[in-house]
Amino acid sequence: MNRDRTKAPPKRRYRKPDTQTAIRPDQPRSRSPHDKKERKPAAPPPAAGLEARVMAVDILDNVLGRGKTLDEALGATQSGARQRELPARDRAFARLLATTVLRDRGRLSTVLGRFLERPLPREARRAELILLSGAAQLLLLGTPGHAAIYLAVEQAQRDPKAERFHKLTNAVLRKVADQGPKILPTLDPVTTDVPEWLLARWSRTYGEETARRIAEASLHEAALDVTLKSPSEAAIWAEQLKGTVLPTGTIRLEEHGPVEELSGFAEGAWWVQDAAASLPARLLGDVAGKRVADLCAAPGGKTAQLASLGARVTAVDHSVPRLKRLDANMQRLALLDRVA
């Protein structure tokens, strides 16, 4: 019987490499399945201005999504470690952007709706808020178009709840930048931004003409009123703050920058308090040495007013974040020893 005598090639045996052999730095190293996976490169730092816009959306999410008041939303949002590190100017812009969206939400939503084929799903609330914020910057705040759109898209990409809508954000805001300035003037702010039920109630109570004037006034940023710790210095502080002294002693600023950057704020010379809100404490007369309970006290305007007049004030509020703001205000005003 003839057999194929051709021998199979010998099997190559694995030879353990010499452990003493050094591997050159430039020598490629084969990877093993047991090797650990390479770490992904760290995400680049956020672009300038992005954190302020994230903060604005957080404020809006607290108000429109969680039913908090604006004061509660500001307190909850600004108390975070990341937000406290933001410059005062960025925090002020976040507040301006959030309040602009809240005040002009009707018209902004109408403009955005022209470029959406269908309403966004309920789970896309963060994406909707980013779109509203971008539209507010483009149409109302004068932010350059390229900056507003770039930052909105970047924000959507970094937000897990809005990430899948970043291309939509880019497309819609580009159309808003191009066509929105022509659409916005055609919308009546009163009937678009003011809730229909509220305008109807004002009309029944005060008549249509007065109701419309009330609505128009509500759509403008209110002046800033401050109460002085030392009322005798009203003329001095009115000049420094470029404000007007009202008959109540309140100083009113029609225009102002970030509150934290105004002269006298850090020194505790005054606190923000609406002129009308300062009247109740005056009706109590001389409160020096008396104990007064201030219910719903935060953020502390009346508490500070009473304490500065010599009262021992017990401040009560149901909101823990707002009470923290009250404590911070009393500490800044050096009135904490008179408040419990």
Same domain, yes or no: 147 and 259: no
In this prediction, residue 87 carries a pLDDT of 86
- Decide if 102 is inside a domain: yes
Whether the predicted pLDDT of 20 surpasses 80: no
Same domain, yes or no: 68 and 162: yes
> Which amino acid type is present at position 118?
R
Which residues have CB under 8 Å from 175's CB, separation 6+?
A: 114, 115
Distance CA 84, CA 97 (A): 18
Same domain, yes or no: 56 and 183: yes
Mean pLDDT of 115-133: 95
Same domain, yes or no: 83 and 140: yes
In this prediction, residue 77 carries a pLDDT of 74
Q: Which residue has the higher pLDDT, 123 or 18?
A: 123
Mean pLDDT of 260-265: 89
The position carrying tokens 């009123």 is 225
Whether the predicted pLDDT of 30 surpasses 70: no
- Decide if 60 is inside a domain: yes
In this prediction, residue 310 carries a pLDDT of 94
- Decide if 207 is inside a domain: no
In this prediction, residue 37 carries a pLDDT of 54
Strand order in the sheet with 224-228: 244-245, 251-253, 224-228, 270-272
In this prediction, residue 284 carries a pLDDT of 92
Share of the chain above pLDDT 90, in %: 70
In this prediction, residue 100 carries a pLDDT of 96
| CATH code, domain with 129 | 1.10.940.10
Q: Which tens digits make up the pLDDT trace of 45-58?
A: 778 899 999 999 99
In this prediction, residue 218 carries a pLDDT of 93
- Decide if 94 is inside a domain: yes
Q: Which residue has the higher pLDDT, 190 or 69?
A: 190
Mean pLDDT of 258-278: 91
Same domain, yes or no: 153 and 248: no
Which residues have CB under 8 Å from 100's CB, separation 6+?
A: 136, 140, 141
pTM: 0.73
Same domain, yes or no: 136 and 56: yes
Same domain, yes or no: 163 and 251: no
In this prediction, residue 39 carries a pLDDT of 61
Give the range of the structural domain holding residue 259, as residue numbers without chain letter: 224-338
CA-closest candidate to residue 315, choices 331, 332, 302 = 302
Q: Which tens digits make up the pLDDT trace of 63-111?
A: 999 998 887 888 777 666 566 678 888 988 999 999 999 999 999 999 9
Beta carbons of 198 and 106 less than 8 angstroms apart:
no
With residues binned 3-state (H G I as helix, E B as strand, rest as coil), the percentages for the chain, rounded to 5, are: 55, 5, 40
